[in-house]
Amino acid sequence: QTCALPICRIAAVITVALGTTAALAQDYTPAVVFDMGGKFDKSFNEGVYNGVEKFKTESGVKYREFEVTNATQREQAVRKMAQRGANPVLGIGFAQGPAVDKVAKEFPDTKFAIIDMVVDQPNVQSIVFKEHEGSFLVGVLAAMKSSSGKVGFIGGMDIPLIRKFACGFAQGAKYANPNATVVQNMTGTTPAAWNDPVKGSELTKAQISQGADVVYAAAGGTGVGVLQTAADEGILSIGVDSNQNHLHPGKVLTSM
């Protein structure tokens, strides 16, 4: 399996962000602010949730948490954690960049971390990945497995980050099969695009009607609809951010 963010690596990332602590006991309280889609999205947020749970089990350190359900809550949640003395504070997702940037200036003695965005502050650790490289690899696998020579990509919110996933996937497919056709769709232009499995299902059916027989989803909770429909329609899917193979055994080619 190709997996850019297995749970063990997420746990390692969280340990770095929150600090190695077995000897420290509970003399501080880290905090995690999950983004849209929630900690049980079976993808991006859930990978982090599993990581921090592993961190808690191994270190004995409890953490505070909050799940953002609308954009206005991001800054409030990050600031509230800092005000309550949480340290460090981890923001999940690129969209929390502005909130972390602003609050980090207000609390210079608090450490912050953010995933999938760079915040240039002395007390912020930015955690980013080479998602285009892992996507290239699953693009190769998709093209090798495809019988039709057509593969699909369904992204979440139309942003540069997700276009990196799409670009890597297309390049990988073309590397394996120069004649391959890559059908691409984004779910939307607002944060709601991360949690719309119905739209994910509709886009999957549309790509299948165009001949795609392997579909890669990089869309958070929306991807659940992509994988479900792919399984129902008898084609293969590729999961993302967490190992999603177990959701539809035998129907998920791999997870990136």
Q: Residues 233-254: pLDDT tens digits? A: 999 999 998 888 999 999 999 9
State yes or no: pLDDT of 12 exceeds 80: no
Residue 18 is predicted with a pLDDT of: 58
Residue 70 is predicted with a pLDDT of: 85
Whole-structure pTM value: 0.81
- Confidence at 4, pLDDT banded by 50, 70, 90: very low
Per-residue model confidence as pLDDT tens digits over 57-109: 998 999 999 999 888 899 999 999 999 999 999 999 999 999 999 999 999 99
> Average pLDDT, stretch 30-51?
88
Per-residue model confidence as pLDDT tens digits over 148-165: 999 999 999 999 999 999
Residue 82 is predicted with a pLDDT of: 96
Q: Tell me how far apart the alpha carbons of residues 69 and 251 are, in angstroms, rounded to a whole number.
A: 31
Q: What is the mean pLDDT of the chain?
A: 90
Residue 136 is predicted with a pLDDT of: 98
Q: Tell me how far apart the alpha carbons of residues 239 and 60 are, in angstroms, rounded to a whole number.
A: 31
Handedness of CA 42, 48, 51, 52 (dihedral sign): negative
- Confidence at 10, pLDDT banded by 50, 70, 90: low
Residue 187 is predicted with a pLDDT of: 97
- Confidence at 20, pLDDT banded by 50, 70, 90: low
Residue 44 is predicted with a pLDDT of: 83
Tokens for 91? 């923001």
